[in-house]
Amino acid sequence: MEAKKGKIIIISAPSGTGKSSIISKIIDIPDLALGFSVSATSRAPRGEERDGCEYYFLTPEEFSRRVEAGEFVEWEEVYKGTCYGTLLSEVERVTGEGRNLIMDIDVKGALNVKKRFGDEAISIFIMPPGIEELERRLRGRQTDSEEAIARRLGKAEYEMTFAPKFDVRVVNDDLPRAASEVEDIIRNFVNKQ
Ligand code: ADP
Ligand code: 5GP
């Protein structure tokens, strides 16, 4: 059966759980017809990140200007002084290509998008197997300073309290297994009338 397009798949989890790893495993599966929602952020690029691929990197001033201009579907100050948001132009770009939009956003943004799009959206919460493993993954990624790791771990406990509010929860223990579970959930959702 061909997938009905223009649906919204929201992926959320504490930083370091494996959202990006799961999304990169499923993004090119042909029948899911996914298109990644490139968010805007006021933070600087990390490692190999390039503008327009992982994020649209905006200065804090440009980010605020676009907030004022009403260009965001949603935005949040995810970390103190650092904002992330989904541009309406990005939702239109991906759905206009006849694709299903997959977004990697924080817990509050996720619930806001779910509220706005209702049955056209599914919210998926990815859980780490435990806090020690989350710390190991954040360190292993080698992209964050000690300070950033502490900040992300500090926030993880709070973020986990949002899990019951999502449509579904998937534990990322073994990556191929978790990615396959997310793939099945998305396939069922996009094929639903
Ligand atoms: P997020 O996008 O949620 O911040 P990443 O996808 O960047 O997380 O994953 C964080 C780190 O954990 C990466 O180094 C990644 O390779 C690793 N990782 C992801 N999933 C697993 C897993 N199931 N088991 C072990 N390591 C994992
Ligand atoms: P990172 O700095 O590790 O790339 O991302 C930090 C956090 O910002 C992650 O929890 C990610 O899900 C969230 N995030 C990324 N893009 C958006 C967005 O457009 N909106 C919201 N609300 N959160 C986002």
Tens of pLDDT, residues 43-76: 999 888 999 999 999 999 999 999 999 999 999 9
- 54 touches ligand 2 (CB under 6 Å): no
Which one, of 23, 120, 35, lies nearest residue 86 by Cα?
A: 35
Q: In which element (H, E) is residue 156 found?
A: helix 146-160
Average pLDDT of the residues in 3-21: 89
Nearest CA to ligand 2 atom 9: 106
**Mean pLDDT for the chain?**
94
Distance of CA 18 from the midpoint of ligand 2 (Å) = 13
Ligand 2 lined by 102 (C-beta under 6 Å): no
Task: Calculate how far, in angstroms, residue 49's C-alpha sits from the geometric centre of ligand 2.
Answer: 14
Residue 112 structure tokens = 């806001």
Axis-axis angle for helices 131-141, 146-160 (nearest 10): 150
- Ligand 2 pocket member 104 (CB < 6 A): yes
pLDDT above 60: residue 2:
no
pTM: 0.94
Share of the chain above pLDDT 90, in %: 88
CA of 165 to the centre of ligand 1 (A): 23
